[in-house]
Structure 1
Amino acid sequence: MALTESTETAQHGFKAHSDGGWDADGAAKHVPVQTRSARFTSTDVSDFEAVTGREANWKYTPIAKIESLLNGELDGARTPLTVTDVAGVSSEWIARDDARIGRAGKPEERGAAAAWSAFGEAHLVTVTAEEQVTAIVDRSELGTSARAAHTVIEAKPNSRGLVILENTGDAQLSENVEIVVGEGAELTVVSVQQWADEAQHLSSHYATVGRDGSLKHIVVTLGGALVRLNPSIHLDHEGANGEALGAYFADAGQHLEHQVYMDHDAPHTRSRVNYKGALQGEGAHTVWIGDVLIRNSATGTDSYEQNRNLVLSEGTRADSIPNLEIETGDIAGAGHASATGRFDDEHLFYLRSRGISEEEARKLVVHGFLLEVIQQIDDAETQERLRDAVEAELAESVSA
């Protein structure tokens, strides 16, 4: 069955909002009731009520599995990690009252607020290199107790860098990651989730992009029992560019969730969102929610988001929800798309007509499907490792 397009734009649990006019100074006369930008934010967990699972931004998440991360006591001590020693990149721990914390965004929900309330020190990675450099932050010894973490990644003006967050092993982790891209800087941040089978991971990423700056944010999620990673990218300076890319592969019983928010709040900003996922095995569940907001201030915006899911077996579920809010008619372009389906029979026929077995043809199709995102990582060693990881996933059961 070929992929089918969906242009669903409802808020899926959030109340409908009304479009209003604007005052002469550009301020909205009628603030939309449930627009993404109007959501309540706080760094204090006590400001949020207990999660029931009926909330619009939690309705797809198996709440019972992450009770300790939402309501338990989190260990806020430093997380064990190693960082590549490379010129042009510095790494340090800073106190929670440091002025460099809190610049990129604040929690919109209880899970992120619980982590923010609990962490003791933040890990700061600063990129100053004027030529492209790569730094890898490796976290692999987190253990099975509930933890809180806070990371700040800053690219200084006109710097160039790639920062890879490698997550492996056991974990019960709730965290916030702030990304600050300075004027004219070009930064790529890659978050790789290859956790152990029983790991639980809640992560909120917040990014702010400076004038003529560029951020490429890439998520690759392959491991863990439950992973919920939500990036919010704020293009709040003229000429800012943001790309949010993701690849995920859910096996039996896995819940992989990504809620992406692209906020255009300045003239002539550009964004692209492209997430691709594959599912196989009984109970495999993926959730992708994409919110794009083009504010009244964001004239000349160019934006597009899409999500594609490839279903490899029965018993899986893929929820895909694109949302687009536009508050100005003066834009270069905006659109979104979502598709979920099985293998394209024409692709399989083409490969089989050239002597490739059906099982191998299926592997090639899935591999190419996810490789589009993985090859955007400008680090050959990481690309090769992730290609091997996808191959291992496919070796288990593509022919089901």
Structure 2
Amino acid sequence: MPTALTTESSQPDRVSKHADGRFGYIPVQTRSARFKSTNVSDFDTVTGREAVWKYIPVAKFTDLLSGDLNGSPYEFDVTSAADITVEWVERTDPRIGGAGAPEERASANAWTGFEKALAITVSGEEAKEITLSRSLLGSSARGAHTIIEAKPFSQATIILQNSGDARLTENVEIILGDSANLTVVTVQEWDDEAVHLSNHFASVGRDARLKHVVVSLGGRIVRVSPSVCLAGTAADTELLGLYFADSGQHLEQQVYVNHDAPKSRSRVNYKGALQGKGAHTVWIGDVLIGNKAAGTDSYEQNRNLVLTEGTRADSVPNLEIETGDIVGAGHASATGRFDDEQLFYLQSRGITDEEARRLVVRGFLTEIVQKIGSPDLEARLLLAIEAELLTTDGK
């Protein structure tokens, strides 16, 4: 097992002595300064009061935070396409650690515990698509690691399809060479009691473009946290998210975009709907425009549609700018109920109240689906949204 990588020498908050002799905690002042390590023992025990954990019920997955994990290779199904290889590789593979490192304990536990990484390698300039499906992970605590590498000038769409039962913490590294064009879609349609904690780390090279899509529909607790570093000049990323929480579900996304090179561009657009008692969604969006990122163009937004009483949507956009030489930067967040004018318009044309509400929600979420770029997957997700809308009690 290789030596763990630690990129900072201390925990996120540090103790400092004030002038009056008292001690106090000084919080991290910028997103990029968070503590990182691939060794789980470098992280303190999670209490649920930490900023990264304060929205999620940590007591329901303590086995993923500090327990022993099954890190062995698992069964999967994958479609085939020219110029895409899928294979298990050893922990010594030089690509491991090339896109990022854990910033929290569950991610570090997965990194410490995996035996082999699943490597998806894309080459060739022709567009192609594969779907990798996992449905037999089982109910024991598991850790996993995936590498997706797009060689320079390559093009592909990679769909990661998740279903069945699971108690999984994992890391996914996405590495784009110069001028690569890659779409990565992760679809969570887990069984009702599944728990899934996933951290995606992406590094985007010069003139490369990454479209990253998170679709979360099933599972008891699901958190997918994409972290994208625009490392090359004119790197571009579009981060899209779609989620629909029912009664008792917790669906969370913590998004981070780091503009670390000139003339980079990012667009973040996440949309979610909630129905049923105890449905809870969380979206946290961090964007950092570094001091080397002159000419940056960035915008992030989150929209939530509340369909019933008893739900909760937390939405927290954050923007840090370290240079004044930018094209534009902004962020927006909104959570609300149905638009009464839209409902009135539809009902005035003979559409029933129930059908009018379904049409409004369908139109609200379809914007994200139609941007995925995979016709078969888009059609299937629209059917899944219809099924959610027919469950009006959220059960």
Q: Where on the TM-score scale, by shorter chain, does this alignment land: which range? A: over 0.9
Query: What is aligned with 1:204?
Result: 199
**The one of 156, 164, 174 aligned to 1:161:** 156
Aligned-residue offset at 1:33: 3.7
Query: What is aligned with 2:257?
Result: 262
**The one of 243, 247, 255 aligned to 1:248:** 243
Query: What is aligned with 2:346?
Result: 351
In structure 1, distance between residues paired with 2:155 and 2:105: 34
**The one of 183, 189, 193 aligned to 1:194:** 189
Matched position secondary structure for 1:347 = helix
**The one of 366, 369, 381 aligned to 2:364:** 369
In structure 2, distance between residues paired with 1:167 and 1:263: 27
Paired residues of 2:276 and 2:394 also in contact (CA < 8 A) = no
Deviations 1:174-228 (A, max 9, x none): 0000000110010000000000000000000000000000000000000000001
In structure 2, distance between residues paired with 1:69 and 1:370: 31
In structure 2, distance between residues paired with 1:57 and 1:399: 27
TM-score (norm 2): 0.92
Matched, 1:305 2:305: no
Query: What is aligned with 2:85?
Result: 90
Residues 77-86 or 170-179, more deviating = 77-86
Query: What is aligned with 2:61?
Result: 66
Query: What is aligned with 1:232?
Result: 227
Aligned-residue offset at 1:143: 0.7
Query: What is aligned with 2:119?
Result: 124
Deviations 1:76-135 (A, max 9, x none): 001211121111111111001111111000000001000000000000001112111001
Query: What is aligned with 1:327?
Result: 322
Aligned-residue offset at 1:385: 1.1
Matched, 1:214 2:209: yes
Structure 2 vs 1, CA of residues 75 and 274 (structure 1 numbering), >3 Å: closer, same or farther? same
In structure 2, distance between residues paired with 1:89 and 1:355: 51
Aligned-residue offset at 1:376: 1.4
Matched position secondary structure for 2:389 = helix
Matched, 1:101 2:79: no
| Letter of the 2:302 counterpart | N
Count of residue correspondences: 372
Paired residues of 1:362 and 1:399 also in contact (CA < 8 A) = no
Aligned-residue offset at 1:398: 7.1
Matched, 1:284 2:313: no
Aligned-residue offset at 1:236: 1.1
In structure 1, distance between residues paired with 2:292 and 2:244: 37
**The one of 134, 140, 146 aligned to 1:145:** 140
| Letter of the 1:107 counterpart | P
In structure 2, distance between residues paired with 1:276 and 1:83: 28
Aligned-residue offset at 1:34: 2.3
Paired residues of 1:280 and 1:312 also in contact (CA < 8 A) = yes
Alpha carbon RMSD of aligned pairs, Å? 1.5
In structure 2, distance between residues paired with 1:249 and 1:94: 35
| Letter of the 1:184 counterpart | S
**The one of 290, 297, 309 aligned to 1:295:** 290
In structure 1, distance between residues paired with 2:70 and 2:194: 16
Aligned-residue offset at 1:399: 10
Q: Percent identity?
A: 64
Structure 2 vs 1, CA of residues 109 and 399 (structure 1 numbering), >3 Å: closer, same or farther? closer
Paired residues of 2:38 and 2:112 also in contact (CA < 8 A) = yes
Paired residues of 1:250 and 1:285 also in contact (CA < 8 A) = yes
TM-score (norm 1): 0.91
Unmatched segments (≥5 aa) in structure 2: 1-11, 14-26
Unmatched segments (≥5 aa) in structure 1: 1-13, 16-31
Query: What is aligned with 2:16?
Result: none
Matched position secondary structure for 2:285 = strand
**The one of 377, 388, 391 aligned to 1:393:** 388
Aligned-residue offset at 1:153: 0.4
